[in-house]
Amino acid sequence: DVETSFARNSPLSVQVEDDRTGLSLETLKRAFLDNLFYVQGKSPDIATAKDYYMALAYTVRDRMLHHWLSTGQTYRRTHARTAVYLSAEFLMGPYLGNNLINLGLYDLFEQAMEELGLNLKEIMDQEQEPGLGNGGLGRLAACYLDSMATLEIPSLGYGIRYEFGIFEQAFHDGWQVEKTDQWLRWGNPWEVRRPEWAVHVKIGGHTEGYTDHQGRYQVNWVPDKVVRGIPYDTPILGYQVNTANTLRLWRAESPESFDFDAFNRGDYYGAVNSKIISENISKVLYPNDDKLEGKQLRLEQEFFFVSCSLQDMIRLLMSEGLPLEQFPEKFTVQLNDTHPAVAIAELMRLLVDDHEMAWDLAWEITQKSFAYTNHTLLPEALERWPMYLFGSLLPRHLEIIFEINRIFLDQVRLKFGPDNERIARMSLIEETGGRYVRMANLACVGSHAINGVAELHTELLKETVLKDFYELFPEKFVNKTNGVTPRRWMVLSNPRLAKLIDQHIGTAWPTQLDQLSKLEAYVDDPAFRNEWREIKQANKRFLTARIERLTGIKVNPDSMFDVQIKRIHEYKRQQLNALHIITLYRRLKQNPDLEITPRTFIFAGKAAPGYFMAKLIIKLITAVGDIVNRDPVVRDRLKVVFIPNYNVTNSQPIYPASDLSEQISTAGFEASGTGNMKFALNGSLTIGTLDGANVEIREEVGAENFFLFGMTADEVTALKASGYQPWQYYEENAELKGVIDLISSGFFSGGDTETFKPLIDNLLQQDRFTVLADYQSYIDCQDHVGKVYQQDQENWLRMSILNAARMGKFSSDRAVREYCKEIWHVDPVSIELQEYSKMVA
């Protein structure tokens, strides 16, 4: 039995090494049992499912380490230019399955487990995913890491190792309740703690000016607290390449010497307390999506991970023997929204104060280094920090921002003359009613490139929130439409469809997604069509079983699966979807024999814990489900399910089992969306507005293969400008009135007319997201969707195949290639696996 082993011919080749790299079935089984025994300390008779997971994870990790160490060594040796992704969120999803796919070892490990009487999928189900993000923004960061590694782009992701990620969602009486996420409870086999690269971060205090021995004015920042940042590294494998990049997440601890001081003074409790306070910084993820929570701790988190990361980059630069001036040649730093934008002031401080660089050179380096991605137009999400708060935590950074602002506003005056309103709008400091530091303005001034995440979004940025900056710096603005990784969102999560595609167009499509267009040749092929349909049915049956397990609700896999899964937000308009369900229900109550397309409405998504209206929307959906699912008149033609605790793990079986993808945000509010891409890629049809990337998806798949409804962004703006009066839509539309009145009557709340009153009042009186104005268009479109699904199944199938075949553009590989070419100017570096003996020599 010849084993594939990196160290096969090396003098250091011993049994232990072989167990960690070998790939024969016998070696894999032995390595797995060894890890169970020696790492988990368990014999099979008392091993739990968690032990099996851990043993398997370590067995897989061992097979990643040559990739990882060879990659690092190559980057150091070649001084590789590196793309740095700075993000407060990384929503990585479970690692085990993804790592097996990217190593190309999935089938082999499945067989090895089977030979041990174990089931790989069941073991994979044991993983607690690191939920270190809220939604699209965090998941985008994860897809980009996957693509950067796959494209062999030297890259580093920097973020925060939150001890508690996004909360776990449970339900009481149809209301969301939050439970703490304890993802680290069973240990994390994928990370390596690196205390030797810890850094110190100053917070608070004051600054002191002094003149140095050369007669230059310098500033000394005297903090009132110092925290220690410890990096935890996770390898990020590319797909079927040797590259393994690094995700480096920082944990906050207290500096040992500080504890020691207090301890020596006999203040044991004080020492322990200061440790607790320091550790708070990386304790918990703020669970808001598209909404700023202006809390001191949040600003501390942002500054903490940014300072740690920049110090680490400078260490790496110097360890390669490169001078500080080379920072922008060694690194290009992408700011994932403004959450890390304080990096602009922190790099200036590190260069000017700590490294005594002249201001102008430091500023040139800073602008060359950073690029900024904007992810939202919602004004309530734009980060602004009360100036007193900012100054009390970061006194030196506030001074630096004032100086950046002084020079910048002179530049504005030079170009536009004495336009005080413009100056007030563009200033880094907001002074109208309370003073604030504006992070988006800082990001625009300190970056050489600014991008939106879909074409429409970028255009709207230029016309609205960043208009002044576009007029000053038109050359900085570019669009980078989002993408998703086909490895996780097809190969891993839809293996049946992936296999069918392999059989027809070969196996290159996961890295060359445009090749999916070859599927168009089979759109009329009866055998292919049959298999396409059967795979969708099989995926629906699988999800049906899961739904029953998770909710107790039996759904019909032959019904249309009509799915809206995403964060709950008024602009995403889950309430519009609910109005449609109630519309259909009323029609059935009025005419029980009405012919309707049987539908299963599937929802999943979390509401921010402090977002009352979003929680009320969840309650409305579950309340409607309670009535509709039990009503004998419905005769199972409508079912409403809310799958709890939406996260990456729970989403993976949903996209492949969906027929209809709900992308129904008010036009102009969803920056891009990325779930929309995952659905279409897996052969679901979209009902959607002309918002975010929907516009481009429709362009690619063809208008005839997309169910469009609703106002355009311009129409929404115009309607509001003309004085939108939502109650008029209610008064003039009998069916809409009937639906609203049914909710108001207490029909879905056990006769209680108070429960949904805030939601109804809001719709009738404000309706910021024009739900009522789009109601009829949505209902008409849904009626059409129902007809096509029921009466024109052959056409539906054709549309499904064409959607998947035309989604090539939306691979995150395409997006990353565009960033590399147009913003980062980073080239691939291919990795040769180094032999173990040479690496340790």
Cβ 59 to ligand B1N shortest distance, Å: 34
- Phi and psi, residue 27, nearest 5°: -65, -45
List the beta bridge partners of residue 233.
192, 248
The binder of ligand B1N chosen from 99, 441, 481, 482 (CB under 6 A)? 482
Residue 298 has a CB neighbour count (10 Å cut-off) of 18
Distance CA 380, CA 280 (A): 26
Cβ 136 to ligand B1N shortest distance, Å: 3
Please report whether residue 86 would count as binding ligand B1N according to CB under 6 A.
no
Please report whether residue 692 would count as binding ligand B1N according to CB under 6 A.
yes
Residue 606 is among the residues annotated as catalytic for this protein? no
Cβ 289 to ligand B1N shortest distance, Å: 5
Please report whether residue 688 would count as binding ligand B1N according to CB under 6 A.
no
Q: Of how many residues is the chain composed?
A: 841
**Position 811, amino acid:** S
Residue 383 has a CB neighbour count (10 Å cut-off) of 22
The binder of ligand B1N chosen from 28, 112, 120, 137 (CB under 6 A)? 137
Distance CA 84, CA 67 (A): 19
Cβ 549 to ligand B1N shortest distance, Å: 30
User: Residue 638: enclosing H or E segment and its boundaries?
Assistant: strand 638-642
Distance CA 823, CA 825 (A): 6
Question: Residue 506: left (phi > 0), alpha (psi -120 to 50), or beta?
Answer: left
Q: Which stretch binds ligand B1N (CB under 6 A): 19-27, 288-296, 354-362, 648-656?
A: 288-296
Residues within window 290-319 making contact with ligand B1N, judged by CB under 6 A: 290
Distance CA 335, CA 376 (A): 14
Q: Which of 251, 572, 639, 806 is catalytic?
A: 572
The binder of ligand B1N chosen from 99, 674, 749, 811 (CB under 6 A)? 674
Residue 678 is among the residues annotated as catalytic for this protein? yes
The binder of ligand B1N chosen from 94, 130, 136, 154 (CB under 6 A)? 136
Residue 549 is among the residues annotated as catalytic for this protein? no
Cβ 489 to ligand B1N shortest distance, Å: 14
Q: Which of 330, 462, 599, 678 is catalytic?
A: 678
Please report whether residue 140 would count as binding ligand B1N according to CB under 6 A.
yes
Q: Which stretch binds ligand B1N (CB under 6 A): 4-12, 214-222, 666-674, 753-761?
A: 666-674
The binder of ligand B1N chosen from 134, 176, 481, 684 (CB under 6 A)? 134
Q: Is 806 helix (H, G, I), strand (E, B) or coil?
A: coil
Please report whether residue 441 would count as binding ligand B1N according to CB under 6 A.
no
Please report whether residue 668 would count as binding ligand B1N according to CB under 6 A.
no
Please report whether residue 147 would count as binding ligand B1N according to CB under 6 A.
no
Indicate the residue among 132 and 137 with the shorter CB distance to ligand B1N. Answer: 137
Please report whether residue 381 would count as binding ligand B1N according to CB under 6 A.
yes
- Which residue in 680, 711, 716 sits closest to 778, CA to CA? 711
Q: Is 703 helix (H, G, I), strand (E, B) or coil?
A: helix
Strand 217-222 to strand 206-211: parallel, antiparallel, or no bridges (unpaired)?
A: antiparallel
Residue nearest to ligand B1N (CB): 136
Distance CA 135, CA 366 (A): 29
Complete DSSP assignment for 61-89? HHTTHHHHHHHHHHHHHHT--EEEEE-S-
Indicate the residue among 101 and 166 with the shorter CB distance to ligand B1N. Answer: 166
Distance CA 826, CA 817 (A): 9
Residue 589 is among the residues annotated as catalytic for this protein? no
Please report whether residue 654 would count as binding ligand B1N according to CB under 6 A.
no
Indicate the residue among 62 and 455 with the shorter CB distance to ligand B1N. Answer: 455
Indicate the residue among 439 and 621 with the shorter CB distance to ligand B1N. Answer: 439
Check if the beta carbon of residue 141 is closer than 8 Å to that of residue 92: no
Q: Which of 567, 569, 637, 639 is catalytic?
A: 567
DSSP, res 126: T
Cβ 291 to ligand B1N shortest distance, Å: 6
Distance CA 579, CA 575 (A): 6
Residues within window 316-355 making contact with ligand B1N, judged by CB under 6 A: 337
Q: Is 635 helix (H, G, I), strand (E, B) or coil?
A: coil
Please report whether residue 60 would count as binding ligand B1N according to CB under 6 A.
no
CA 518 to chain centre: 30
Distance CA 677, CA 459 (A): 20
Indicate the residue among 482 and 597 with the shorter CB distance to ligand B1N. Answer: 482
Cβ 212 to ligand B1N shortest distance, Å: 40
Indicate the residue among 143 and 153 with the shorter CB distance to ligand B1N. Answer: 143
List the beta bridge partners of residue 604.
565
Cβ 263 to ligand B1N shortest distance, Å: 38
Strand 244-253 to strand 155-160: parallel, antiparallel, or no bridges (unpaired)?
A: parallel
Q: What angle do CA 317, 198, 398 make, to 5 degrees?
A: 75
The binder of ligand B1N chosen from 146, 191, 300, 670 (CB under 6 A)? 670
The binder of ligand B1N chosen from 453, 624, 681, 823 (CB under 6 A)? 453
Cβ 134 to ligand B1N shortest distance, Å: 5
The binder of ligand B1N chosen from 671, 801, 805, 815 (CB under 6 A)? 671
* Site size with ligand B1N, rule: CB under 6 A: 19
Strand 175-179 to strand 168-172: parallel, antiparallel, or no bridges (unpaired)?
A: antiparallel
Binding mask 359-378 for ligand B1N (x = CB under 6 A): ----------------xx--
Distance CA 538, CA 543 (A): 9
Q: Which stretch binds ligand B1N (CB under 6 A): 29-37, 135-143, 256-264, 778-786?
A: 135-143
Residues within window 590-649 making contact with ligand B1N, judged by CB under 6 A: none
Cβ 350 to ligand B1N shortest distance, Å: 25
Residue 566 is among the residues annotated as catalytic for this protein? yes
Residues within window 214-233 making contact with ligand B1N, judged by CB under 6 A: none
Complete DSSP assignment for 201-267? EEES-EEEEEE-TTS-EEEEEE-SEEEEEEEEEEEEE-TTSS-EEEEEEEEEE--HHHHHHHHHTT-
Residue 572 is among the residues annotated as catalytic for this protein? yes
The binder of ligand B1N chosen from 5, 245, 672, 689 (CB under 6 A)? 672
Cβ 675 to ligand B1N shortest distance, Å: 8
Cβ 594 to ligand B1N shortest distance, Å: 37
| Residue partners of 125: CB distance under 8 A and separation at least 6 | none
Burial of 297 (0-12, 13-18, 19+ CB in 10 A): middle
- Phi and psi, residue 158, nearest 5°: -120, 135
Continuous H helices in 331-370: 343-349, 359-369
Indicate the residue among 97 and 692 with the shorter CB distance to ligand B1N. Answer: 692
Check if the beta carbon of residue 781 is closer than 8 Å to that of residue 775: no
- Map tokens 């890295």 to a residue: 511
Indicate the residue among 142 and 831 with the shorter CB distance to ligand B1N. Answer: 142
Cβ 664 to ligand B1N shortest distance, Å: 13
Q: Which of 330, 457, 462, 566 is catalytic?
A: 566
DSSP, res 338: S
Distance CA 175, CA 169 (A): 10
- Map tokens 């669009």 to a residue: 479
Indicate the residue among 694 and 834 with the shorter CB distance to ligand B1N. Answer: 694
Q: Which of 139, 330, 375, 480 is catalytic?
A: 375
The binder of ligand B1N chosen from 191, 259, 289, 696 (CB under 6 A)? 289
Please report whether residue 166 would count as binding ligand B1N according to CB under 6 A.
no
Which residues are catalytic, by number? 375, 566-567, 572, 674, 678
Residue ranges binding ligand B1N (CB under 6 A): 134, 136-137, 140, 288-290, 337, 375-376, 381, 453, 482, 670-674, 692
